Structure 1
Amino acid sequence: MLLNKSIDIPYQQLPFSGQFNVAPLGVFRNELTEQPHRHDHFQIIWITKGKGRHMVDFVWYEVEDDMIFLLRPGQVHQLDCEREGYFLYFTEQFYFTNKNDKETLYDFTSLFDNWHGYGPISTSGNTTESLLGLIQLMSKEKSCAPNCSRGIVKHYLNAFLLLVEREKKRNAAETMMPLTHDARVVQLRRLLEQHYRTEHQVAFYASAFALTPKRLNEITKDTTGRTVTELLHDRIVLESKRSLAFSHKSVKEICYELGFEDPAYFSRFFKNNTGISPQDFRDMMFK
């Protein structure tokens, strides 16, 4: 059970000035962090020592030492654990100050993709030391206000993200699930995020790449193990769950907001993808 009553789940706004911050986990702890909530920015939670669990989009993960959770804007999460470590948050606008940055800086957005399934990242010895050093460098530079250099912070952050990406690939290799990358799939994710409420046909997304639906499905299947339709349905189901669990909206209202014209069809769609009806899912959340 996540909550004892249905509420419109809030977005947790940036608690500090600016579009970036790094601090010990203990600094950022209030009633909201102990309840399901979401952010309008990217967040990295690095638990150096911890025991308990962490919920991300309705799935609970056991917390261990030296574990990193990557959160995209809008992801619902809840911390239910003893924890020491650090958190970083930043906006895409902070990282990519202007269009030229896209050509010179690492595109971190692919690191936060979950097409291969969400999961925390475990860090190894040498990398853990390097990540800690970068945390200290970012903290030191940020404390130099008003002379703090955005460029210096971004390059430290860039190095931090690259190390985390390497650890993500190492984790995948150890579980015999190597990650593959295709820039078109990254772009597809962005298109799905923008249009999943209104565009439910593969042809719409394929046209953005001047590809046939069959060819785009082949690309996504090779890279993610999922077809475009499956990725789209996953995203719709996730948003359905968020609205059912954390809002007062009726099933009919949720249906229309997600681009379905027939509530009965939406209910069948939800049950086919989850094994449970929308109303039963909502009731299960608040038993």
Structure 2
Amino acid sequence: MLTNRGVDIPYQQLPYKDHFSLFPLNAFKNELTNQPHRHDHFQVIWFTKAKGRHMVDFVWYEVEDNMLFLLRPGQVHQLDCEREGHFLCFTEQFYFTNKHDRETLYDFTNLFDNWQGYGPIGVREETTVAFHQLIALMNLEMSGAAFSSSIIKHYLNAFLLLAEREKKRNATENMMPLNYDGRVLQLRRLLEQHYKKEHQVAFYANAFALTPKRLNEITKENTSRTVTELLHDRIILEAKRNLAFSHKSVKEICYELGFEDPAYFSRFFKNNTGISPQDFRDMMFK
């Protein structure tokens, strides 16, 4: 059962140092720690020891030792487990301070992409050794008087590259392809920026100077879904977040997501989920 009904999905504020934060899983707690909440930054949660479960966007995952969760800004999650490990939190602004950084540093946004479906990453023992060393180096740098964001970024860079390697290994073991057209990643960013207002494929196709048919072919080849299906997935996710974690009426959610007719929005939601918006909200709190 979910909690926090009747209030907008809260953003948990974490202690930052220059848009970066690193601390043990149990070192920072407030009233939101074990409640559904979200963050306005990227987050790596590394469970070194854990027993229980972790909810990410309405799906509960059993947690295990040496398991990694990667969260994008805005994803709703809830911890319900005994845990040891580390939080790594940072903003895109921290990692890409300038154009030179974008040209020389690893583009971590690919790592946090979840077109192929969200899931935790199991980490091999040899990688955990490197993770521990990098965490120690980051802590050492942060505790020093001459704290350098550039040094932290390079340690973080190495951590994320290792995480990507583990993600690829997990995908290979599960026979899931990870390499796809870079335009799909660009499309994801466009959808994230405009999904509340732009519901036509032509808008997104124009951004790539492509026809809607060709963009659909690209996304279908790489994700097995059309642009419309990807767009609808994002709209439905946000609708679910608001239905479960806010006091907004179905009508208010409808307008916020770019629909003019609440009745049409309700049909849209039911066609995509098999249940009406109100029934979904009621189901969350039985």
Specify the TM-score bucket, using the shorter chain as the normaliser.
over 0.9
CA positional deviation for 1:180: 1.5
3-state SS in 1 of match to 2:218: helix
In 2, the alpha carbon distance for the partners of 1:60 and 1:133 equals 30
In 2, the alpha carbon distance for the partners of 1:178 and 1:98 equals 32
CA positional deviation for 1:30: 2.7
Report the TM-score when normalising by structure 2: 0.98
Q: Tell whether the 8 Å contact from 1:110 to 1:186 is kept in structure 2 after alignment.
A: yes
Q: Tell whether the 8 Å contact from 1:116 to 1:225 is kept in structure 2 after alignment.
A: no
C-alpha spacing 1:76/1:28, structure 2 compared with 1 (3 Å): same
- CA deviation profile, 1:139-177 (whole Å, cap 9, x unmatched): 1111113x1111111011001001101100100000111
3-state SS in 1 of match to 2:172: helix
Q: Tell whether the 8 Å contact from 1:251 to 1:263 is kept in structure 2 after alignment.
A: yes
Q: What is the aligned partner in structure 1 of residue 53 from structure 2?
A: 53
In 2, the alpha carbon distance for the partners of 1:14 and 1:79 equals 15
CA positional deviation for 1:101: 1.2
* 2:65 is aligned with 1:75: no
| Amino acid of the structure 2 residue aligned with 1:280 | D
Q: What is the aligned partner in structure 2 of residue 164 from structure 1?
A: 163
Q: What is the aligned partner in structure 2 of residue 96 from structure 1?
A: 96
| Amino acid of the structure 1 residue aligned with 2:34 | E
* 2:246 is aligned with 1:260: no
CA positional deviation for 1:17: 3.7
Report 1:109-128 matches (<5 A): 109-128=109-128
Q: Tell whether the 8 Å contact from 1:56 to 1:75 is kept in structure 2 after alignment.
A: yes
- CA deviation profile, 1:112-145 (whole Å, cap 9, x unmatched): 1111000000001211111111111111111113
3-state SS in 1 of match to 2:84: strand
3-state SS in 2 of match to 1:168: helix
Q: What is the aligned partner in structure 1 of residue 37 from structure 2?
A: 37
3-state SS in 1 of match to 2:62: strand
Q: What is the aligned partner in structure 1 of residue 25 from structure 2?
A: 25
CA positional deviation for 1:226: 1.5
| Amino acid of the structure 2 residue aligned with 1:198 | K
C-alpha spacing 1:186/1:194, structure 2 compared with 1 (3 Å): same
Aligned length: 286
- CA deviation profile, 1:75-110 (whole Å, cap 9, x unmatched): 000000000011100000000001221111111011
In 1, the alpha carbon distance for the partners of 2:108 and 2:257 equals 28
Q: What is the aligned partner in structure 2 of residue 196 from structure 1?
A: 195
RMSD of aligned alpha carbons: 1.1
Report 1:171-186 matches (<5 A): 171-186=170-185
| Amino acid of the structure 2 residue aligned with 1:70 | L
CA positional deviation for 1:214: 1.2
In 2, the alpha carbon distance for the partners of 1:4 and 1:127 equals 37
Q: What is the aligned partner in structure 2 of residue 10 from structure 1?
A: 10
CA positional deviation for 1:31: 2.5
Percent of paired sites with the same residue? 78
| Amino acid of the structure 2 residue aligned with 1:259 | G
In 2, the alpha carbon distance for the partners of 1:5 and 1:190 equals 29
* 2:243 is aligned with 1:244: yes
Q: What is the aligned partner in structure 2 of residue 223 from structure 1?
A: 222
- CA deviation profile, 1:61-83 (whole Å, cap 9, x unmatched): 00011100001110000000000
Moved more, 269-278 or 215-224: 215-224
CA positional deviation for 1:178: 2.1
| Amino acid of the structure 2 residue aligned with 1:148 | F
Q: Tell whether the 8 Å contact from 1:25 to 1:85 is kept in structure 2 after alignment.
A: yes
CA positional deviation for 1:225: 1.9
CA positional deviation for 1:4: 6.3
3-state SS in 2 of match to 1:18: coil
Q: Tell whether the 8 Å contact from 1:4 to 1:286 is kept in structure 2 after alignment.
A: no
Q: What is the aligned partner in structure 2 of residue 234 from structure 1?
A: 233
| Amino acid of the structure 2 residue aligned with 1:228 | V
3-state SS in 1 of match to 2:98: coil
CA positional deviation for 1:29: 2.4
In 1, the alpha carbon distance for the partners of 2:155 and 2:84 equals 22
In 1, the alpha carbon distance for the partners of 2:60 and 2:210 equals 38
Report the TM-score when normalising by structure 1: 0.97
| Amino acid of the structure 1 residue aligned with 2:157 | N
Structure 2: state its 5+ residue gaps.
none
In 1, the alpha carbon distance for the partners of 2:91 and 2:246 equals 26
Q: Tell whether the 8 Å contact from 2:4 to 2:36 is kept in structure 1 after alignment.
A: no
CA positional deviation for 1:227: 1.2
Structure 1: state its 5+ residue gaps.
none
